[in-house]
Amino acid sequence: MASSDSATLVLARSTAVVGLGIASGLMIGIPAWTWPALYRPNSNLKPEHRLGIFVKVYNQGKTTMMSTIPVITALLGYSAVAAKAPVDYLPANFVSRHRKAFLAASAASAVGFIAWTGAMMMGLNNQLMKLEKENRASKDDELVQKKWLGLHLVRCALGSTAFVLAVAELALA
């Protein structure tokens, strides 16, 4: 933290980092915990039951992320604008000298999470919701296990990147 940071900037940066940590942890953790139970080879669950559970977990995650990611992005955007590099005559590390870039890249990665979901995943998500609503789950296992998971891993990478950049700036600036 630069000594010239206002209390508002410190609060915004800290809140964004905590929020990103929680959001990234949920994005990675919940599928990692539920996947083995839902999709184990000897599962007694029928595909339509698995899809129903998947849709329920997905909708809970969607509600959480739609309320937190915009706030986190706004906090990171404010921080990127308000942050100041240390004066030139003081010793500083790379992160300190490039605080705005680290915070802006973190905000961009968080926005990328939303953009990726909208551009690359919504079609598949809507298809899975429709299958669940119609109680048809013939190919959902493959769609969820392969296609959705692959797309979700990109989302996890974007969220984790935003978190790492924000932590680096908070810890090293």
pLDDT in tens, the chain (173 residues): 555 789 999 999 999 999 999 999 999 999 888 888 888 878 888 888 888 888 999 999 999 999 999 999 999 999 999 998 777 777 788 888 899 999 999 999 999 999 999 999 999 999 888 888 887 766 566 777 788 889 999 999 999 999 999 999 998 87
Burial of 98 (0-12, 13-18, 19+ CB in 10 A): middle
- Say which DSSP state 147 is in: I
Of the candidates 118, 107, 104, 101, the one whose C-alpha atom is nearest the C-alpha of residue 155 is 118
What tokens does 154 get?
């990109």
The set of residues, in sequence order, having a beta carbon less than 8 Å from that of 114 and lying 6+ positions away, is: 69, 70, 73
pTM: 0.87
- Alpha carbon dihedral 72, 77, 82, 88, in 10-degree steps, equals 110
| 106 to 20, 69, 113, 144: CA distances (angstroms) | 10, 12, 11, 28
Residue 139 is predicted with a pLDDT of 59
CB 117 within 8 A of CB 155: yes
Residue 160 is predicted with a pLDDT of 96
Of the candidates 173, 171, 149, 146, the one whose C-alpha atom is nearest the C-alpha of residue 21 is 171
